[in-house]
A and B are shown apart, each in its own frame.
Chain A
Amino acid sequence: MADSRLSEIIRANEADILSSWMSSQLQSLVTRRELLSEADLHRESRDFLAALSRAASQGGVVEITSPSYAAVRDFLASLSASRARQGFSPSETATFVFSLKQPLFTQIRKSTTDVHALADETWAATVLLDKLGLFTAEMFQKTREQLIITQQQEMLELSTPVVTLWKGILALPLIGTLDSARTQVVMENLLQRIVETGSAIAILDITGVPTVDTLVAQHLLKTVAAARLMGADCIISGIRPQIAQTIVHLGVELNTVTTKATLADAFAVALKRLDLRVTNGQAATAAPAPAPARAANGAAETTGV
C-alpha cells in the first residue's frame, strides 16, 4: 500500500473534502452546537486533514503507530481529551474521524476509473480511518478514566472531615462505603485530630454508610481500637434498624464499643462522661444557678459539675 495515492488525493481536493466533511459533521452535531463553535470545528478539521495528508505522504496509509503519524496521534489525543472534558459522548467524538470517510471516498471515486485501483484505494482509506477512529475512542476513554481517578481522590479527601462538637469531643460523620483505603484515611485523620485537640471522646457516626458488612465492621473496630490505644474512647452512632439486624445476623461483635442510635444520643453520652450538662436557659435563670458565666443567648449552656 506504500504507493497509495491517498495523500495526493487529499492535497489535490482539500477544499472540497473539507467543505463536505464540515457539512456532514455539522449535521451530526446539530444538538451540540452550544458546546463547539463552527469556527473551532472548521479549524480542527482543517488541521487534522493537513496532518493526515502529511503523514500519509511520509508513512503510507496503514500503520498509524509509525513515527510519521506522531503528529496525527497527538492531534487526536488532544482533541478527544478536550471533547471528553466538554461532555461529548464517545461516539460523537469518534464521529469526527469516521465522518471523513464519505467525502474522502467521493474524491477517491472521482480520481480513478479503474475498478481495482478504486477498491484498493478505498480499502486502504477505510483501514486507516478505522484505526484512527478507534484510537480517538481509546484516548477519549483514557481521559475519562483520568477524570474519574482525580474525582475519586478528591472525594476521599472531602469525605472524611473530623469536627469538634465540644471541647474534648470529636465527631466523625462517615459518608459512603468504608473500604480499606478510606478506613486508612479516616483513621489517620481521626488520630491526628485526637492528638491536636487532646480529645478523650470520639463519635463515629455511620448514618451515611449505606451497608455494613463484616469487612466494614472490622474496619470500624480497628479505628476504635487505635483510638483507644491513644487514650480516646469511641462511640459509634447512627446505626439504622436494618444495619443493626445485619450486624447481628453476621455475628459481628460490637460489644466492646458503646453504640447509640443517633448522633444526639452519642453526644449526650459524651457530655455525661465529661461531666457536662445542657440546661434550658429559662430554667437555669429561675433556679439559683451557681455558675456566673452563662451563654449570652441562653438557649443552651454547658456547666461543669
Chain B
Amino acid sequence: MERIPILKMGRFLLVSIQVDMHDRLALQLQDDLTTRIAETGAQGVLIDISALEMVDSFIGRMLGNIAAMSSVLDARTVVVGMRPAVAITLVELGMSLPGVQTALDIEKGMELLAAVSG
C-alpha cells in the first residue's frame, strides 16, 4: 500500500504530498505523522502541498486535524505551496483553516517554523 514519506530534517518533519490524496491515504498520513512526532519529539511539521491539485472537504478537514493533533503533541504545523485553485475551493467550502499556519514556499515555511518554535 502506498504511503506518503515523512522526512526528518533537524528539529522538524517534512511531508511532501506528491500524489492525489484519497481518504485512506489521508488517514494513513495522519496516523504515521502523529507516530513520528511522538517518536522524534519534532518541534515543527512542514507540509508541502504544491503538487496537490484537488481537494475536497475531507482533505481540508484532515489538514486542519493534522495541525490540531501536532499542536497537542507540541509541534507547529506550517502548510506551504497551496495552489490558487485549491485555496479558492477551500474558501468556497467554508474551510479557511484558522488553526493552520501557511507560507508561500518551503523556504519561507522553514523560516516561519524556525521563528515560531524558537
Write the residues of chain A forming the contact surface with B, with a CB cutoff of 8 angstroms.
187-188, 191-192, 194-195, 198-200, 222, 225-232
- The list of the 10 closest CB pairs from A to B, nearest first, reads A191-B84, A225-B96, A231-B103, A231-B102, A231-B104, A226-B87, A229-B87, A226-B91, A230-B82, A225-B91
Q: Shortest distance in angstroms between A185's beta carbon and chain B's nearest beta carbon?
A: 11
B88 within 8 A of A: yes
A/B pair count, beta carbons within 8 Å: 55
Q: Which residue of A lies closest to B78 (CB)?
A: A231
Asked if B88 and A188 make an inter-chain contact with CB atoms under 8 angstroms apart, the answer reads yes
Q: Shortest distance in angstroms between B95's beta carbon and chain A's nearest beta carbon?
A: 9
A-contact 0/1 string along B88-118, CB 8 Å cutoff: 1011100011000011110011000000000
Asked if B91 and A222 make an inter-chain contact with CB atoms under 8 angstroms apart, the answer reads yes
A289 to B36, CA, bound (A): 49
Q: Which residue of A lies closest to B60 (CB)?
A: A229
Cβ contacts A to B, 29 pairs, < 8 Å? A187-B88, A188-B84, A191-B84, A191-B87, A191-B88, A194-B84, A195-B84, A198-B104, A199-B104, A200-B104, A200-B108, A225-B91, A226-B84, A228-B102, A229-B79, A229-B91, A229-B97, A230-B82, A230-B84, A230-B87, A230-B104, A231-B80, A231-B81, A231-B82, A231-B102, A231-B104, A231-B105, A231-B108, A232-B104
A231 to B49, CA, bound (A): 12
A192 to B104, CA, bound (A): 12
A192 to B88, CA, bound (A): 11
A194 to B82, CA, bound (A): 11
Q: Shortest distance in angstroms between B60's beta carbon and chain A's nearest beta carbon?
A: 10
Residue numbers in B under 8 Å from A192 (CB-CB): 84
Most buried by A among B88, B90, B108, B109: B88
Asked if A229 and B96 make an inter-chain contact with CB atoms under 8 angstroms apart, the answer reads yes
Residue numbers in A under 8 Å from B80 (CB-CB): 231
B48-98: which residues lie under 8 A (CB-CB) from chain A? 79-84, 86-88, 90-92, 96-97
